[in-house]
Amino acid sequence: ASGVPGGSDVGSQKDRVVSEEEWLRKWETGNVGFHKERGHPLLQKYLDVLLNGRTGLRIFFPLCGKAVEMKWLADMGHSVVGVEVSEQALREFFAEHGLQYREEPVPEISGAKNASGNISLYCCSIYSLSSSIVGKFDGVWDRGALVAVNPRDRQRYASLMVTLMEKNSSYLLVTVSYDPNKHKGPPFYVPESEIKSLFGNHFEIKCLQKVDDFSDKHRQWGLDYFLEVLYVLKFL
């Protein structure tokens, strides 16, 4: 049960594998067009859905890169935890925001490092994390994570995310929609049917908005449309 629907639904993407080395190379070469320097407008618009009137939350950023929203939420008084395989991305995050940090080894994860403070970032594979290491979270901002996970690993990813969530948490999930026969990914196309098969046993799933995000970059990929789709997931 790979969590991947039939080939016609996801094109040729179901067997696509992006190695850790490829992701590291993207950061090394500055090929990070997915990074949004001004933050993501959908998080700004739907922040109230994530916070739900609550203060002092623990908020998780899976595959965080150097997302500027981590600083933004920390400045509001929330505790932010991110995980990212690229040490360069994490160093750039702290440098670009002028933040001091200290590095600590993570005893439970060989080779992992954690840069701690009210923004605590783990440099390791997300699959090395567990609630016994990082605790549980009141909120998740998943933009660029599920769509970056290799399609064959989606069930593994979703199962992990379920274990990291508090029962009253809000999980904001951004996916992308385009013709998967025209682009091999990443970001990978994740249809709504698959969101339901991955998370539907645990969460109420609601689509909040679809945004036309088509640009020249997507035209160069051979696409004729590209949508961002925002969902909120709440425990049943």
194 in a known ligand binding site? no
25 in a known ligand binding site? yes
* Per-residue burial over 74-89, b = 16 or more CB atoms within 10 Å of its CB, e = otherwise: beeebbbbbbbbbbbb
18 in a known ligand binding site? no
Arithmetic mean of pLDDT over the chain = 94
Give the β-pairing of 102-105 and 113-116.
antiparallel
113 in a known ligand binding site? no
Of the ranges 99-103, 110-114, 172-176, the best mean pLDDT one = 172-176
Beta strand segments in 6-151, E:
58-61, 79-84, 102-105, 113-116, 119-123, 137-143
91 in a known ligand binding site? no
29 in a known ligand binding site? yes
Ordered alpha helix ranges (H), 52-86: 69-75
63 in a known ligand binding site? yes
221 in a known ligand binding site? no
Could you identify the residue written with the tokens 């046993």? 201
| CA-based nearest residue to 34, from 121, 124, 143 | 143
> How far is residue 126 from each of residues 84, 118, 159, 216, measured CA to CA in Å?
7, 19, 12, 31
82 in a known ligand binding site? no
Q: Please report the pLDDT score of residue 34 as a whole number.
A: 87
- Alpha-carbon gap, residue 185 to 150, rounded angstroms: 9
Distance of CA 76 to the CA centre of its chain: 21
Average pLDDT over residues 126-154: 97
Band (196; pLDDT cuts 50, 70, 90): very high
84 in a known ligand binding site? yes
Widest CA span in the chain: 49
204 in a known ligand binding site? no
Q: What pTM did the predictor assign?
A: 0.94
125 in a known ligand binding site? yes
Residues 6+ apart with CB under 8 A from 54: 138
Asked whether the predicted pLDDT for residue 29 surpasses 70, the reply is: yes
* Residue 170, helix vs strand vs coil: strand
Domain residue spans of the chain: 41-235
Asked whether the predicted pLDDT for residue 6 surpasses 80, the reply is: no
Q: Please report the pLDDT score of residue 8 as a whole number.
A: 46
Q: Please report the pLDDT score of residue 117 as a whole number.
A: 83
Q: Please report the pLDDT score of residue 11 as a whole number.
A: 67
Task: Report pLDDT digits (tens) over 164-193.
Answer: 999 999 999 999 999 999 999 999 999 999
Main-chain phi, psi angles of 15, to 5 degrees: -100, 5
181 in a known ligand binding site? no
Query: What is the architecture of the domain spanning 41-235?
Result: 3-Layer(aba) Sandwich (3.40)
**Structure-token pair, residue 45:** 């618009």
